[in-house]
Amino acid sequence: MSTDRFTLLNGAGQPQGSGPRYIAIGPPAHPRMILKRFASLALLASFAAASFAQQQDPSTIGKLESLLYHIDRMYVDDVNKQQLVDAAIVRMLEELDPHSIYIPKEDLEEVNEPLKGNFEGVGIQFNIIRDTIYVVDAIPGGPSERLGIRAGDRVLTIDGENSAGVGFKNNDVMKRLRGKKGTKVAVTIARRGEAAPLDFSITRDKIPIYSVEASYMAAPHVGYIKVSRFSATTMKEFREKLDELKAMGMQDLVLDLQGNGGGYLRTAIEMADEFLGAQKLIVYTAGRTSPREDTFATSEGRFEKGRLVVLVDEGSASASEIVSGAMQDWDRGIIVGRRSFGKGLVQRPVMLPDGSAVRLTVSRYYTPSGRCIQKSYEDGLEAYRHEKSERLSHGELTSADSIHLQDTVRFYTMNKRVVYGGGGIMPDVFVAIDTTLSSDYFGQLVRKGILNTFALSYVDKHRDELLRKYAGVQQFATNYLVDDLLLDALDAQARTEGVAQDTEGMQRSKALIALRLKALLARDLWDTSAYWQVINADNPVDRSFQRALEVLADDTFQRLGMGR
> Percentage of the chain surpassing pLDDT 90?
59
Cα–Cα–Cα angle for 174, 31, 62, nearest 5°? 135
DSSP state of 294: E
pLDDT at 27 over 50: no
Q: Under 8 Å CB-to-CB from 159, ≥6 apart: which residues?
A: 176, 185, 186, 187
The dotted CATH code for 118-208 is 2.30.42.10
The residue among 446, 438, 435 whose CA lies nearest residue 499 is 446
Our measurement of the distance from residue 206's CA atom to the centroid of its chain's CA atoms, rounded to an integer in Å, reads: 21
Residue 86, Cβ neighbours under 10 Å: how many?
22
The residue among 274, 269, 254 whose CA lies nearest residue 214 is 254
Domain boundaries, the chain: 36-103, 118-208, 212-433, 440-541
**Rg of the chain, C-alpha, whole Å:** 25
- Please, where are the H alpha helices in 153-194? 170-177
Q: Quote the pLDDT of residue 40.
A: 35
Q: Quote the pLDDT of residue 32.
A: 38
List for the chain the helix, strand, coil content (%; round to 5).
40, 20, 40
The yes-or-no answer to whether 118-208 and 212-433 have a common fold is no
- Mean pLDDT score, 106-124: 81
Question: pLDDT: is 116 or 145 the higher one?
Answer: 145
445 CB-contact burial (10 Å; exposed 0-12 / middle 13-18 / buried 19+): buried
Q: How far apart are CA 17 and CA 4, in angstroms?
A: 32
Q: Quote the pLDDT of residue 35.
A: 37
DSSP state of 151: T
Q: Under 8 Å CB-to-CB from 362, ≥6 apart: which residues?
A: 287, 289, 290, 346, 347, 348
Q: What are phi and psi of 170, to 5 degrees?
A: -55, -45
Q: Is 264 helix (H, G, I), strand (E, B) or coil?
A: strand
Q: Quote the pLDDT of residue 115.
A: 75
- For the stretch 193-207, pLDDT in tens is 788 999 999 999 988
Buried-state track 16-25, b at ≥16 Cβ within 10 A, e below 16: eeebbbbbbb
The bridge status of strand 161-162 relative to strand 184-190 is unpaired
- Mean pLDDT score, 517-546: 94
Name 129's bridge partners: 132
pLDDT at 30 over 60: no
Query: Residue 130 region, left (φ>0) first, then alpha (ψ -120 to 50), else beta?
Result: left
For helices 265-273 and 234-247, what crossing angle results, to 10°? 20
119 CB-contact burial (10 Å; exposed 0-12 / middle 13-18 / buried 19+): buried
* Residues with catalytic function: 318, 329, 343
CA distances to 320, 470, 512 from 270, rounded to whole Å, are: 12, 38, 36
Whether the Cβ atoms of residue 543 and residue 477 lie closer than 8 Å to each other: no
pLDDT at 407 over 70: no
Whether the Cβ atoms of residue 336 and residue 429 lie closer than 8 Å to each other: yes
- For the stretch 329-357, pLDDT in tens is 999 999 999 999 999 999 999 999 999 99
- Let me know how long the chain is: 564
- For the stretch 355-371, pLDDT in tens is 999 999 999 999 999 99
Q: Quote the pLDDT of residue 474.
A: 94
State pTM to two decimals: 0.83
Whether the Cβ atoms of residue 289 and residue 257 lie closer than 8 Å to each other: no
Q: Under 8 Å CB-to-CB from 231, ≥6 apart: which residues?
A: 114, 115, 116, 117, 209, 211, 263, 264, 267
pLDDT category of residue 300 using cuts at 50, 70 and 90: confident
316 CB-contact burial (10 Å; exposed 0-12 / middle 13-18 / buried 19+): buried
* CATH T-level topology, domain 212-433: 2-enoyl-CoA Hydratase; Chain A, domain 1 (3.90.226)
